[in-house]
Structures are given as structure tokens and as C-alpha cells.
Structure 1
Amino acid sequence: MTSHDERHALLDELDLLRARRAELEATFAADDHPHDMGEQSEATQRRDELTWVDGRIRDITYLLDAAARAGNGLPGRVCVGSVVALRYPDGRSERLKVTRVPDDDFPTVTPESPLGRALLGAGVGDEIEWAAPEGRLRARVESVDSDVGGER
């Protein structure tokens, strides 16, 4: 999987799966103990679907991570381990690292976060957009530096 469109299709599917997972979990919280066979059957079907959804989320996350690692050799493209400089429309700038490991000394973002998802695969000069609690945010990728440590 190397194409930008394939990656975005997987990210979209991941969003849908996570939303479905939340819906399924909510039904378990709302259920009290099933009283008849029909209710028990429905609960079993929801548990089976939740197991399938969890497996698919795990598979897609693995594919996206593998694709990000494969992209480590592409200059100017954001992948796991990249340090990125962003410029916001208001002129403000920020440098952060796309990583799974938090760093107390440097701002980080996980590849699964909305900003991390928008960054993965982006190149220098690309405009990115993502959902945040305060609404849709935008920024331009000013620079992309590979991590010297080569995060895996």
C-alpha cells in the first residue's frame, strides 16, 4: 500500500470502525441482563461484531504503521518519527514530532490522532486540515525532517 488514496481510504474506514465500536459499546452499557433468548441472541451478535471490528481496527492500524515505516526513506514526506514544522493561517508556527512515544522535552503527536492522521504522507508545502475540539483547523507543512533515531 503506497498510494495516498489507499491510505486515506484506510483512514476513513478506521474512523467508521471506531465510531461503530463506540456504538456497540454503548449498547452493552445500556443493556441490563438479557431476559429472553431473542435478547441473548442479539447480545451475542453484537459481541461477535465487536470482536470483528476490533480485529479490523488492529489490521488497519498495522497496515498504516507498516506503510508509514516504508515511507521513512522518502524525503519531504511525513511518517512516524518525522519532525514537522507547521505554519498556521494566523502566522503562528509550531514544530512537533509524529511518534507513538510521548516526549516531555519536545511536542509530539501520535499517528492515530486527527492531526497525526492529517500529517502522515503529507509533503512540504501541503495544506492539511483536521478536526479539533475548537473546530476544523488548517496548517501548511513547512518542513519535514527524518528522526535520526529511526523510530520503528
Structure 2
Amino acid sequence: MSDLEGQQLTAAQRAALDAELADMEGPQRKAAVDAIATARAFGDLSENFEYHAAKNEQGLLEARITRLQHKLQHAVIVEHTSTDSVGVGSIVEIEDEQGERMEIEISSVGGVSPTSPLGGALMGAAVGEGVDVPAPRGSWRATVVSIRAA
């Protein structure tokens, strides 16, 4: 599955992305256009660093908007409310082999992706279950301490 197609999102995650897109398409886009207009007023465009920087920022913004629109169009909305097993939208507390604990959210938006090594290892795991997490320097073991819905 590509990074942009068929990502699983909860309704709350989709709403956050919708809000981010609205901000990009509204105030951020207007600010980019205003920055270009201001820089254009400085004169000769061939040597106008501010103009070229503003155009570059506008291009990056438009690329982010396109990627976000594509992600939203192809997203699969899921609602994982079970605390019996880990799924998209779960907040999971895990403990590693050294006894260190961490809390993570399984999410394609701002959390641990369900397709990442850690997310993939945790998907479907239950409380008390140990999972092997593949890593570049060898796998490590994590135990699920608790699961709650986001």
C-alpha cells in the first residue's frame, strides 16, 4: 500500500486533516499570494531573492495541499473502539525489555503508523501479549500494558 492510498483513519483523524486542509487552502494560500505580491513590488524579479523564495514556498504549499487532498480522497474510515486488541485509533501503553514504558497512538496521522514496524507488530495484540518489533539493529520485544480507544 502506498503512503497516500488507502490509509486507515478514524473519524477524528479525518476531521483534523479536513481542518488542516481548510487552513492551507484558505489563510495559508492567501498569505503565500500576499508574500509574492509584496516581493514583486521590490523590483527586478531576476535578482529578487524574496520573490523566488515566496514562489518556492507557494509551490511547496500547493504540493502539500495536493498530497493532503489525495490522502483524504483515498482514506478508509475505521472506528476501532475495542480495548481487547490494538487497532487504528488505539492508544497503547507498551513496556520494553528494560522495563521502560511508552504510550503511543496507532494512527496514520500524528502517531505510529499501523504499517510501521512498531505499529504492524502491535496491530491485533492484546493486553499482556508480547510482540517482536523488527529494527535495523535486530528486533526488540514489547509487551502491551494497556489499550484504550482514542
Bigger Rg, structure 1 or 2: 2
TM-score interval w.r.t. the shorter chain?
0.3 to 0.5
Structure 1 length normalisation: TM-score?
0.47
Q: Choose between structure 1 and 2 for higher RCO, CA contacts under 8 A separated by at least 6 residues.
A: 2
Structure 2 length normalisation: TM-score?
0.48
